[in-house]
Structure 1
Amino acid sequence: IGIEICENADGNFDQATANAQWLIRKLMEENNIPLNHVVPHKKWSGKNCPRKLLDHWNSFINGISSSDTPPKEPSPTYLLPSGIIKLTSPYRKGTKVLQLQKALAVLYFYPDKGAKNNGIDGVYGPKTANAVKRFQLMNGLTADGIYGPKTKAKLKSKLR
Protein backbone atom coordinates (compact mmCIF):
# COMPACT_ATOMS: atom_id res chain seq x y z
CA ILE A 1 0.00 0.00 0.00
CA GLY A 2 1.49 3.33 -1.01
CA ILE A 3 0.48 6.59 0.63
CA GLU A 4 1.41 10.06 -0.49
CA ILE A 5 1.07 12.93 1.96
CA CYS A 6 -0.44 16.02 0.38
CA GLU A 7 -0.53 19.28 2.26
CA ASN A 8 -3.79 21.11 2.79
CA ALA A 9 -4.45 24.21 0.73
CA ASP A 10 -3.33 26.30 3.70
CA GLY A 11 0.04 24.52 3.76
CA ASN A 12 -0.55 22.83 7.14
CA PHE A 13 2.08 20.07 6.90
CA ASP A 14 1.63 19.03 10.54
CA GLN A 15 -2.06 18.38 9.90
CA ALA A 16 -1.30 16.46 6.70
CA THR A 17 1.25 14.34 8.60
CA ALA A 18 -1.23 13.63 11.41
CA ASN A 19 -3.84 12.61 8.81
CA ALA A 20 -1.33 10.21 7.20
CA GLN A 21 -0.38 8.70 10.56
CA TRP A 22 -4.02 8.05 11.38
CA LEU A 23 -4.65 6.50 7.95
CA ILE A 24 -1.58 4.26 8.20
CA ARG A 25 -2.72 3.07 11.64
CA LYS A 26 -6.18 2.28 10.29
CA LEU A 27 -4.78 0.37 7.29
CA MET A 28 -2.37 -1.53 9.51
CA GLU A 29 -5.25 -2.70 11.70
CA GLU A 30 -7.55 -3.59 8.79
CA ASN A 31 -4.85 -5.48 6.88
CA ASN A 32 -2.86 -6.93 9.78
CA ILE A 33 0.30 -5.04 8.79
CA PRO A 34 3.07 -4.82 11.42
CA LEU A 35 4.64 -1.44 12.14
CA ASN A 36 8.07 -2.61 10.94
CA HIS A 37 6.57 -2.94 7.44
CA VAL A 38 5.86 0.79 7.27
CA VAL A 39 8.75 2.14 5.22
CA PRO A 40 9.49 5.33 3.29
CA HIS A 41 9.27 5.47 -0.48
CA LYS A 42 13.07 5.73 -0.50
CA LYS A 43 13.34 2.05 0.46
CA TRP A 44 11.82 1.02 -2.88
CA SER A 45 12.77 3.86 -5.21
CA GLY A 46 16.09 5.11 -3.85
CA LYS A 47 14.69 8.64 -4.17
CA ASN A 48 15.00 11.09 -1.27
CA CYS A 49 11.33 10.60 -0.49
CA PRO A 50 9.39 11.61 1.55
CA ARG A 51 11.84 14.48 1.68
CA LYS A 52 10.18 16.35 4.56
CA LEU A 53 9.95 13.25 6.76
CA LEU A 54 13.16 11.31 6.21
CA ASP A 55 15.15 13.23 8.84
CA HIS A 56 12.33 12.62 11.33
CA TRP A 57 11.26 9.12 10.26
CA ASN A 58 11.47 7.60 13.76
CA SER A 59 9.21 10.26 15.28
CA PHE A 60 6.82 9.84 12.34
CA ILE A 61 6.67 6.08 13.02
CA ASN A 62 6.19 6.71 16.76
CA GLY A 63 3.28 8.99 15.93
CA ILE A 64 1.53 6.18 14.07
CA SER A 65 1.05 4.13 17.22
CA SER A 66 -0.63 7.07 18.97
CA SER A 67 -3.03 7.82 16.10
CA ASP A 68 -6.12 6.00 17.36
CA THR A 69 -8.67 8.66 16.48
CA PRO A 70 -8.96 10.69 13.30
CA PRO A 71 -7.18 14.02 13.65
CA LYS A 72 -9.50 16.97 13.96
CA GLU A 73 -8.71 20.20 12.27
CA PRO A 74 -10.16 23.32 13.83
CA SER A 75 -13.19 24.48 11.89
CA PRO A 76 -12.47 27.74 10.13
CA THR A 77 -15.11 30.39 10.30
CA TYR A 78 -16.60 31.58 7.06
CA LEU A 79 -18.13 34.95 6.53
CA LEU A 80 -21.42 34.60 4.75
CA PRO A 81 -23.03 37.59 3.14
CA SER A 82 -26.36 38.88 4.34
CA GLY A 83 -29.22 39.95 2.12
CA ILE A 84 -30.39 38.52 -1.14
CA ILE A 85 -28.11 37.96 -4.11
CA LYS A 86 -29.36 36.91 -7.52
CA LEU A 87 -28.47 37.46 -11.15
CA THR A 88 -30.34 40.77 -11.25
CA SER A 89 -29.20 41.94 -7.81
CA PRO A 90 -27.37 45.24 -7.35
CA TYR A 91 -24.92 43.29 -5.15
CA ARG A 92 -24.02 40.74 -7.80
CA LYS A 93 -20.38 41.86 -7.85
CA GLY A 94 -17.89 42.27 -5.05
CA THR A 95 -16.97 41.02 -1.60
CA LYS A 96 -20.33 39.47 -0.76
CA VAL A 97 -20.22 37.30 -3.85
CA LEU A 98 -16.61 36.33 -3.14
CA GLN A 99 -17.65 35.19 0.35
CA LEU A 100 -20.47 33.12 -1.11
CA GLN A 101 -18.28 31.55 -3.80
CA LYS A 102 -15.62 30.60 -1.23
CA ALA A 103 -18.23 29.00 1.04
CA LEU A 104 -19.66 27.03 -1.89
CA ALA A 105 -16.13 25.96 -2.86
CA VAL A 106 -15.50 24.52 0.61
CA LEU A 107 -18.61 22.36 0.16
CA TYR A 108 -17.58 21.32 -3.38
CA PHE A 109 -20.41 23.11 -5.18
CA TYR A 110 -17.97 25.56 -6.66
CA PRO A 111 -15.42 26.24 -8.28
CA ASP A 112 -15.09 26.13 -11.99
CA LYS A 113 -12.06 23.86 -12.29
CA GLY A 114 -9.63 25.03 -14.91
CA ALA A 115 -10.72 28.65 -14.70
CA LYS A 116 -8.49 31.33 -13.23
CA ASN A 117 -8.76 31.21 -9.40
CA ASN A 118 -11.12 28.26 -9.97
CA GLY A 119 -13.78 30.72 -11.10
CA ILE A 120 -13.92 32.55 -7.77
CA ASP A 121 -14.13 36.03 -9.18
CA GLY A 122 -16.70 37.95 -7.12
CA VAL A 123 -19.27 37.99 -9.92
CA TYR A 124 -22.71 36.42 -9.40
CA GLY A 125 -23.12 35.12 -12.90
CA PRO A 126 -24.77 31.99 -14.32
CA LYS A 127 -22.08 29.66 -12.85
CA THR A 128 -22.53 31.00 -9.34
CA ALA A 129 -26.32 30.92 -9.65
CA ASN A 130 -26.03 27.31 -10.83
CA ALA A 131 -23.80 26.39 -7.87
CA VAL A 132 -26.33 27.97 -5.48
CA LYS A 133 -29.15 26.09 -7.22
CA ARG A 134 -27.32 22.75 -6.92
CA PHE A 135 -26.57 23.44 -3.25
CA GLN A 136 -30.24 24.24 -2.64
CA LEU A 137 -31.41 21.15 -4.50
CA MET A 138 -29.10 18.86 -2.50
CA ASN A 139 -30.15 20.43 0.79
CA GLY A 140 -33.94 20.43 0.59
CA LEU A 141 -34.37 24.08 -0.32
CA THR A 142 -36.25 25.64 -3.22
CA ALA A 143 -33.73 25.40 -6.05
CA ASP A 144 -34.10 28.87 -7.52
CA GLY A 145 -30.45 29.95 -7.60
CA ILE A 146 -31.20 32.94 -5.37
CA TYR A 147 -29.03 33.35 -2.28
CA GLY A 148 -31.19 34.48 0.63
CA PRO A 149 -31.73 33.87 4.36
CA LYS A 150 -32.72 30.17 4.06
CA THR A 151 -29.75 29.38 1.83
CA LYS A 152 -27.46 31.31 4.16
CA ALA A 153 -28.75 29.37 7.20
CA LYS A 154 -28.26 26.03 5.46
CA LEU A 155 -24.78 27.00 4.26
CA LYS A 156 -23.88 28.08 7.79
CA SER A 157 -25.02 24.74 9.22
CA LYS A 158 -22.99 22.79 6.64
CA LEU A 159 -19.82 24.82 7.25
CA ARG A 160 -19.60 23.89 10.95
Structure 2
Amino acid sequence: MRRGLVHVLAWSLATGAAVTLSWWGVHTVMAGTAYDPPRALPITAVGRAARDSAPAASSTSRPEPSRTASRTPSATPRPSATRSASPSGSAGRPPASPSASGRVKSYDTDGGRAVFDVGPADATLVSATPKAGWSMQVWKTESWIRVEYTAGADRVSVFCTWHDGPPHVEIGTY
Protein backbone atom coordinates (compact mmCIF):
# COMPACT_ATOMS: atom_id res chain seq x y z
CA MET A 1 0.00 0.00 0.00
CA ARG A 2 2.75 2.40 0.96
CA ARG A 3 4.72 1.54 -2.15
CA GLY A 4 1.70 2.34 -4.37
CA LEU A 5 1.21 5.67 -2.63
CA VAL A 6 4.87 6.57 -3.24
CA HIS A 7 4.48 5.72 -6.95
CA VAL A 8 1.31 7.85 -7.27
CA LEU A 9 3.02 10.75 -5.49
CA ALA A 10 6.11 10.50 -7.71
CA TRP A 11 3.94 10.30 -10.85
CA SER A 12 1.91 13.34 -9.72
CA LEU A 13 5.03 15.41 -9.05
CA ALA A 14 6.61 14.45 -12.39
CA THR A 15 3.39 15.23 -14.30
CA GLY A 16 2.98 18.56 -12.51
CA ALA A 17 6.57 19.52 -13.28
CA ALA A 18 6.17 18.56 -16.96
CA VAL A 19 2.93 20.53 -17.32
CA THR A 20 4.45 23.57 -15.61
CA LEU A 21 7.55 23.46 -17.81
CA SER A 22 5.45 23.07 -20.96
CA TRP A 23 3.16 25.96 -20.00
CA TRP A 24 6.11 28.20 -19.23
CA GLY A 25 7.73 27.40 -22.60
CA VAL A 26 4.55 28.08 -24.57
CA HIS A 27 3.84 31.24 -22.60
CA THR A 28 7.37 32.53 -23.27
CA VAL A 29 7.06 31.94 -27.02
CA MET A 30 3.55 33.37 -27.30
CA ALA A 31 4.43 36.50 -25.29
CA GLY A 32 6.50 37.78 -28.23
CA THR A 33 3.92 37.22 -30.96
CA ALA A 34 1.55 39.62 -32.68
CA TYR A 35 -1.55 38.55 -30.79
CA ASP A 36 -2.91 41.50 -28.84
CA PRO A 37 -6.32 41.84 -27.22
CA PRO A 38 -8.95 43.37 -29.50
CA ARG A 39 -9.49 47.11 -29.36
CA ALA A 40 -12.71 48.87 -30.25
CA LEU A 41 -12.90 51.22 -33.25
CA PRO A 42 -14.81 54.48 -32.94
CA ILE A 43 -18.38 54.53 -34.23
CA THR A 44 -18.39 56.77 -37.31
CA ALA A 45 -22.06 56.71 -38.32
CA VAL A 46 -25.31 55.63 -36.67
CA GLY A 47 -27.01 52.82 -38.53
CA ARG A 48 -23.99 52.18 -40.77
CA ALA A 49 -23.95 48.46 -39.97
CA ALA A 50 -27.57 48.19 -41.06
CA ARG A 51 -26.80 49.75 -44.46
CA ASP A 52 -23.63 47.78 -45.16
CA SER A 53 -23.48 44.03 -45.43
CA ALA A 54 -19.82 43.90 -44.38
CA PRO A 55 -17.96 46.08 -41.89
CA ALA A 56 -15.57 48.66 -43.35
CA ALA A 57 -12.74 47.67 -40.99
CA SER A 58 -11.87 45.00 -38.50
CA SER A 59 -12.39 45.57 -34.80
CA THR A 60 -8.79 44.82 -33.83
CA SER A 61 -5.77 47.07 -34.02
CA ARG A 62 -2.16 47.07 -32.90
CA PRO A 63 -1.11 50.20 -31.00
CA GLU A 64 2.53 50.45 -32.14
CA PRO A 65 3.69 47.72 -34.52
CA SER A 66 7.34 46.85 -34.60
CA ARG A 67 9.22 47.66 -37.78
CA THR A 68 11.16 44.41 -37.67
CA ALA A 69 10.00 41.29 -39.42
CA SER A 70 8.10 38.93 -37.15
CA ARG A 71 8.82 36.15 -39.59
CA THR A 72 11.40 36.53 -42.31
CA PRO A 73 10.87 34.26 -45.30
CA SER A 74 13.95 32.82 -46.95
CA ALA A 75 12.70 34.04 -50.32
CA THR A 76 9.81 36.33 -51.02
CA PRO A 77 8.21 35.14 -54.25
CA ARG A 78 6.12 37.60 -56.17
CA PRO A 79 2.75 36.23 -57.26
CA SER A 80 2.50 35.27 -60.92
CA ALA A 81 -0.69 37.20 -61.57
CA THR A 82 -1.06 40.52 -59.80
CA ARG A 83 -3.63 43.23 -60.00
CA SER A 84 -3.68 46.65 -58.48
CA ALA A 85 -6.17 46.67 -55.64
CA SER A 86 -8.65 49.24 -54.55
CA PRO A 87 -9.96 49.16 -51.02
CA SER A 88 -13.22 47.35 -50.50
CA GLY A 89 -16.12 49.58 -49.76
CA SER A 90 -14.63 52.58 -51.57
CA ALA A 91 -17.56 52.96 -53.95
CA GLY A 92 -19.58 55.89 -52.66
CA ARG A 93 -18.50 55.53 -49.03
CA PRO A 94 -16.22 57.73 -46.96
CA PRO A 95 -12.99 56.20 -45.59
CA ALA A 96 -13.49 53.74 -42.74
CA SER A 97 -11.82 55.73 -40.00
CA PRO A 98 -9.12 58.39 -40.11
CA SER A 99 -6.22 57.86 -37.78
CA ALA A 100 -3.16 59.79 -36.73
CA SER A 101 -0.96 58.34 -39.48
CA GLY A 102 -3.37 57.86 -42.39
CA ARG A 103 -6.58 56.14 -43.41
CA VAL A 104 -7.74 52.63 -42.64
CA LYS A 105 -8.29 50.67 -45.86
CA SER A 106 -9.73 47.16 -46.12
CA TYR A 107 -8.94 44.71 -48.93
CA ASP A 108 -11.19 41.68 -49.45
CA THR A 109 -9.78 38.64 -51.27
CA ASP A 110 -10.88 35.07 -51.92
CA GLY A 111 -8.79 34.00 -48.89
CA GLY A 112 -9.74 36.68 -46.40
CA ARG A 113 -9.55 40.35 -45.49
CA ALA A 114 -6.47 42.49 -44.83
CA VAL A 115 -6.83 45.92 -43.24
CA PHE A 116 -4.02 48.50 -43.44
CA ASP A 117 -3.55 51.93 -41.88
CA VAL A 118 -2.09 53.72 -44.91
CA GLY A 119 -0.12 56.90 -44.32
CA PRO A 120 1.64 59.19 -46.78
CA ALA A 121 5.02 57.42 -46.51
CA ASP A 122 4.34 54.02 -44.91
CA ALA A 123 1.62 51.61 -43.79
CA THR A 124 0.87 49.32 -40.86
CA LEU A 125 -1.18 46.15 -40.72
CA VAL A 126 -4.30 46.70 -38.62
CA SER A 127 -5.70 43.18 -38.98
CA ALA A 128 -5.71 40.16 -41.25
CA THR A 129 -8.55 37.65 -41.06
CA PRO A 130 -8.69 34.43 -43.12
CA LYS A 131 -12.00 33.09 -44.42
CA ALA A 132 -13.25 29.66 -43.31
CA GLY A 133 -10.99 26.91 -44.62
CA TRP A 134 -8.04 29.26 -45.27
CA SER A 135 -4.86 29.73 -43.24
CA MET A 136 -2.79 32.89 -43.05
CA GLN A 137 0.83 33.97 -42.68
CA VAL A 138 2.21 37.53 -42.33
CA TRP A 139 5.65 38.94 -43.14
CA LYS A 140 6.73 42.48 -42.22
CA THR A 141 9.83 44.51 -43.11
CA GLU A 142 10.72 48.19 -43.07
CA SER A 143 9.41 48.73 -46.63
CA TRP A 144 6.63 46.17 -47.20
CA ILE A 145 4.02 43.94 -45.57
CA ARG A 146 2.85 40.66 -47.08
CA VAL A 147 -0.25 38.73 -45.99
CA GLU A 148 -0.65 35.31 -47.60
CA TYR A 149 -3.82 33.22 -47.41
CA THR A 150 -3.52 29.49 -48.22
CA ALA A 151 -6.12 26.76 -48.79
CA GLY A 152 -4.72 23.57 -50.28
CA ALA A 153 -2.95 24.54 -53.52
CA ASP A 154 -4.68 27.95 -53.69
CA ARG A 155 -2.75 31.00 -52.52
CA VAL A 156 -3.69 34.65 -52.36
CA SER A 157 -1.14 37.32 -51.36
CA VAL A 158 -1.79 40.91 -50.39
CA PHE A 159 1.37 43.04 -50.77
CA CYS A 160 1.57 46.55 -49.36
CA THR A 161 4.81 48.24 -50.44
CA TRP A 162 6.17 51.73 -49.91
CA HIS A 163 9.90 51.39 -50.62
CA ASP A 164 9.80 53.47 -53.84
CA GLY A 165 6.97 55.92 -53.09
CA PRO A 166 3.68 56.13 -51.23
CA PRO A 167 2.07 52.88 -50.06
CA HIS A 168 0.66 50.72 -52.86
CA VAL A 169 -1.33 47.50 -52.44
CA GLU A 170 -1.31 44.61 -54.91
CA ILE A 171 -3.32 41.39 -54.65
CA GLY A 172 -1.91 38.31 -56.34
CA THR A 173 -3.45 34.89 -56.90
CA TYR A 174 -1.30 31.88 -57.67
**Same fold, judged at TM 0.5 (above):** no
Give the TM-score, by structure 2 length: 0.20
Structure number with the higher strand fraction is 2
Structure number with the higher helix fraction is 1
